[in-house]
Amino acid sequence: MGETVERPPVWLMRQAGRILPQYRALRAKLSGFKELVETPHLAAEVTIQPVDELDVDAAIIFSDILVIPEAMGLTYELIEKVGPRFPRTIQSARDIDALIDGSAAAEQLGYVYDALDITKKELDNRIPLIGFCGAPWTILCYMIEGGGSKTFSKARRFLYQEPQLAHRLLEKITNSSIAYLKLKARHGADLIQIFDSWAGILPADQYELFALPYIRKICDAIDEVPKTVFAKGAWASLGELNKLNCQVIGLDWNIKADYARSILGPERVVQGNLDPCLLYAQAAEVETKTKAMIRAFDSKHIVNLGHGVYPDTPLDNVKVFVNTVKSFNYSEFSVKVSENE
């Protein structure tokens, strides 16, 4: 909310997951990732694991952005060491017309709302709970491509060959996401984050035509809770992102703090943006670079990595990162600055 704080808050994208031994232990007992996502008390348990283990300042509900395409009619699988896969994809107008959307789609996701209810109760207001969805463009990528891809060239080709259909599909994803986020807020999400993981593969003109307008629609429709927009790689559109009706702009590690501040201004709350790979370095470097980043953003900052934490990151370094932030104090920093002047 942009309030003055003694130190910035800290959490990590993908904090609930394979970096934690307790996650891996629980996951090994189950049939797969989807069982974890779809069983509310287990999803709540892994949501809280990083809160207890790392003492982060926020929990993010354990789920996936791919539950929305599934609720709309395209089931997904998560294949070990490969990633997500959609047996059926979107190829034609008929496929788009057959998709369920809006509240009818969102209402299929009862297990997410139950997981939020349980998590909220177990957190007992210790820290806020973050809800999330994928941005319409990123969801379209998976629906057309059928899985992960280095280039998402099928999805990108679709924008050039079938622009009208792309807008129809984006519209349906947007309606579903709005209904979904409203239900998440009703079930206790204190803040929501929109993940546009594949923002950076579009040229700026297409980003502003096929991606941003739908994020704008979501931001304008959700007034229940504050919103974070994380558009990875969309630095060319940072000025446009800054006009969105949202409280926080998430930044990836390619963006320099002073560049971001020059576009966003000193008052905009930003989130990010350490290189996730830094956490493989020596602990002393993790500490130095974390402090340098906090100073560079100079308040109105939620500390995070520039993208999700990598699954094989040493847990000790994740703790160094979190503890460095928790022991930081803006007032000591400003004293040092004035001493140097």
Q: Is 94 a catalytic residue?
A: no
Identify the residue among 26, 39, 77, 78 touching ligand CP3 (CB under 6 A).
Answer: 78
| Residue 15 makes contact with ligand CP3 by CB under 6 A | yes
Which pair of tokens denotes residue 328? Answer: 């930081």
| Residue 308 makes contact with ligand CP3 by CB under 6 A | yes
| Residue 40 makes contact with ligand CP3 by CB under 6 A | no
Nearer to ligand CP3 by Cβ, of 56 and 287: the residue is 56
Identify the residue among 14, 34, 167, 326 touching ligand CP3 (CB under 6 A).
Answer: 14
Cα-only R_g, the chain: 20
| Residue 195 makes contact with ligand CP3 by CB under 6 A | yes
Q: Is 95 a catalytic residue?
A: no
Contact between 264 and 273 (Cβ < 8 Å):
no
Q: Is 18 a catalytic residue?
A: yes
Q: In terms of residues, how long is the chain?
A: 341
Instruction: Please report how close the Cβ of residue 84 comes to ligand CP3 at its closest, in angstroms.
Output: 5
Residue type, 202: L
Q: Is 107 exposed, middle or buried (0-12, 13-18, 19+ CB in 10 A)?
A: middle
Contact between 9 and 56 (Cβ < 8 Å):
no
| CA–CA dist 210, 272 (Å, integer) | 25
Instruction: Please report how close the Cβ of residue 197 comes to ligand CP3 at its closest, in angstroms.
Output: 3
| CA–CA dist 35, 341 (Å, integer) | 57
| Residue 99 makes contact with ligand CP3 by CB under 6 A | no
If one counts every other C-beta atom within 10 angstroms of the C-beta of residue 132, the result is 21
Please report, for residues 43, 50, 63, 119, the alpha-carbon distance to residue 37 in angstroms, rounded to integers and kept in the order given: 6, 16, 5, 13
Give the footprint of ligand CP3 on residues 241-280 (CB under 6 A).
none
Nearer to ligand CP3 by Cβ, of 62 and 158: the residue is 62
Q: Is 156 a catalytic residue?
A: no
| Residue 9 makes contact with ligand CP3 by CB under 6 A | no
Catalytic-role residue among 27, 168, 261, 295 = 27
Catalytic-role residue among 64, 114, 275, 298 = 64
Instruction: Please report how close the Cβ of residue 23 comes to ligand CP3 at its closest, in angstroms.
Output: 7
Catalytic-role residue among 23, 142, 207, 214 = 142
Q: What number of helices (H) and strands (E) belong to the chain?
A: 17, 9
Identify the residue among 9, 26, 39, 64 touching ligand CP3 (CB under 6 A).
Answer: 64
| Residue 16 makes contact with ligand CP3 by CB under 6 A | yes
Identify the residue among 66, 199, 212, 325 touching ligand CP3 (CB under 6 A).
Answer: 66
| CA–CA dist 283, 240 (Å, integer) | 37
Contact pattern from residue 124 through residue 163 relative to ligand CP3, giving x for each residue in contact according to CB under 6 A and a dash for the rest: --------x-x-------------x---------------
| CA–CA dist 112, 118 (Å, integer) | 10
Number of Cα atoms under 13 Å in the Cβ half of residue 153: 2
Contacts of 266 (CB under 8 A, 6+ apart): 298, 300
| CA–CA dist 275, 283 (Å, integer) | 14
Q: Is 126 a catalytic residue?
A: no
Which residues of this protein are in contact with ligand CP3, per CB under 6 A? 13-18, 27, 33, 60, 62, 64-66, 78, 83-84, 132, 134, 148, 195, 197, 308
Report, as residue numbers or ranges, the catalytic residues: 14, 18, 27, 64, 142
